[in-house]
Amino acid sequence: MKLSDAQIPVRIKLSALWAATMFCYVYGDIFGLFRPGKLTDMIAGQTPIGPTTQNVLLVFAVVMAVPGAMVFLSLVLPLQLARAANIILGVLYSAIIVMTMRGAWGFYIFLGCVETALTLGAAWYAWTWPRQA
């Protein structure tokens, strides 16, 4: 018996790529807590970019909220806007991920490579979005 596979809409692929990216982000952050000295730095109010402030945490929150929102927005934005957002944000987040991998531990580099592939995948699927005849 031959298997049949339905065509998956681009919007579903994009949403799934952003969801998978978020899982990698979360697990990377959780695994990072096991690094020696990490919790001590957190308790002391230190982030990777300096002292913990409301503004620094707000920037972190915005940077993490955007990919999470893209899980939903990829499904509901008007087509042209969804396409543009996925191309721009896919490339932007790929660059952010690559910039944060320098000097990182192996687990973070691995997850960063997966995250980069996922976000570039979102940009690629959006870029190659099929056109109507």
| Residue 132 maps to a domain | no
Per-residue pLDDT 10s for the chain (133 aa) are: 888 888 999 999 999 999 999 999 999 999 999 999 999 999 999 988 899 999 999 999 999 999 999 999 999 999 999 999 999 999 999 999 999 999 999 999 999 999 999 999 999 999 999 998 7
Q: Does residue 1 sit within a domain?
A: no
| SS3 readout for the chain | CCCCCCCCCHHHHHHHHHHHHHHHHHHHHHHHCCCCCHHHHHHCCEECCEECCHHHHHHHHHHHHHHHHHHHHHHHCCHHHHHHHHHHHHHHHHHHHHHHCCCCCHHHHHHHHHHHHHHHHHHHHHHCCCCCC
Q: What is the pTM of this model?
A: 0.92
Domain of 84? 10-127
Q: Is residue 2 part of a domain?
A: no
Q: Let me know if residue 5 belongs to a domain.
A: no
- If one counts the domains in the chain, the total is 1
The answer to the question of residue 93 being in a domain is yes
Residue 24 included in any domain: yes
Q: Is residue 34 part of a domain?
A: yes
Q: Is residue 3 part of a domain?
A: no
